[in-house]
Amino acid sequence: MADAVLDSERANADLAQLSAKDRVRWAVETFGPRVILLSSMQRTSLVLMHMAHELDLTNEILFVDTGYHFAETLRLRDQVMRQWRLNLVTVYPELGTDEQETRFGKKLYSCTDGQPECCRMRKEEPLLRHLAEKSAPVLVNGLRREEGGRRANLKPLGRDLRTKGYQLSPLFDWKSSDIDTYTAEHRLPVHPLYAKGFASIGCSPCTTPIQPGEDERAGRWRHLRVLDAGPQYCGINFSDGSGI
């Protein structure tokens, strides 16, 4: 289906009636190899990667190695790549972590003025550099309305103005309980840090466990928060307002 004749409103209405797996199937039937799954190795990523495995897809599974990931995240990446025989592609920032620190004279993630640039260089830039080689890619993510913030009004399919393509959120209407049920039913691998109190897992310097009653994202950039002010998202997902 050519983009010029894709009715996004109709597509979203149709996608809302499908299962998450059938949303992924629809995307590949509609856009073919332009469909790329962005994976962070968190719970939703494992669900989507398993669906890709069950659909026997050869589409790229894209992992951005920031250089600051937990060792557990990298081990899980390698495990599922072997177990499910996925076409997993890892991309890297142009600067190593030591090179970045030398260039800027500090650890950018440690301060409020440096964190956005750190996320841009280590997450968004390598992602967009890779996608620039594609023609109007369709980036599949694990975002959900239940996460709140900008994501509360998420639609299954949206334009990504950075790439002139689309973003697809097959799990947009899933609850945390749906993820738990799917994970248990299919015996999916689980990131070991969840068992240690982590709820949202990103780069190791910027991710901590959460306390009972805290929001799932309370452990992200905790060191930069004053009361409720501070970063909420890294901006790698266009719908979070990166605006690149």
Give the residue, 133 or 238, on which the prediction is more confident: 133
Q: Residue 155 and residue 170: Cα distance in Å, rounded?
A: 9
Q: What pLDDT was estimated at residue 187? A: 97
The strand pairing partners of 102, in sequence order, are none
Mean pLDDT over the full length of the chain: 90
Contact (CB, 8 A) for 27 and 140: yes
Per-residue pLDDT, 5:
63
For residue range 106-116, list pLDDT tens digits in order.
999 999 999 99
Fold of 3-188: Rossmann fold (3.40.50)
pLDDT at 96 over 70: yes
The proportion of the chain whose per-residue pLDDT surpasses 90, expressed as a percent, equals 79
Give me the pLDDT at residue 231, please: 60
Give the residue, 162 or 178, on which the prediction is more confident: 178
* Separation CA 223–CA 213 (nearest Å): 19
Average the pLDDT over each of 58-67, 121-130, 224-233 and give the range with the smallest value: 224-233
pLDDT for residue 127 is more than 60: yes
Q: Which residue has the higher pLDDT, 159 or 229?
A: 159
Kindly give the residue spans of alpha helices, DSSP state H, lying in the chain: 8-16, 20-31, 43-54, 71-84, 97-104, 115-119, 125-131, 176-185
- pLDDT bin (cut points 50, 70, 90) of residue 149 is confident
Tens-place pLDDT, residues 5-58: 688 999 999 999 999 999 999 999 999 999 999 999 999 999 999 999 999 999
What DSSP character marks residue 148?
-
The pLDDT of residue 120 is 94
Q: What is the 3-state secondary structure (H, E, C) of 1-47?
A: CCHHHCCHHHHHHHHHCCCHHHHHHHHHHHHHHHEEEEECCCHHHHH
Q: Which helix (H) or strand (E) holds 168?
A: strand 165-168
Q: What is the average pLDDT across 156-175?
A: 94
pLDDT tens digits along 234-244? 555 545 554 32
Task: Using pLDDT thresholds of 50, 70 and 90, give the confidence band for residue 227.
Answer: very low
* In the chain, % of residues over pLDDT 70: 90
Q: So what's the pLDDT on residue 116?
A: 92
User: For 167-180, what is each residue's pLDDT tens digit?
Assistant: 999 999 999 999 99
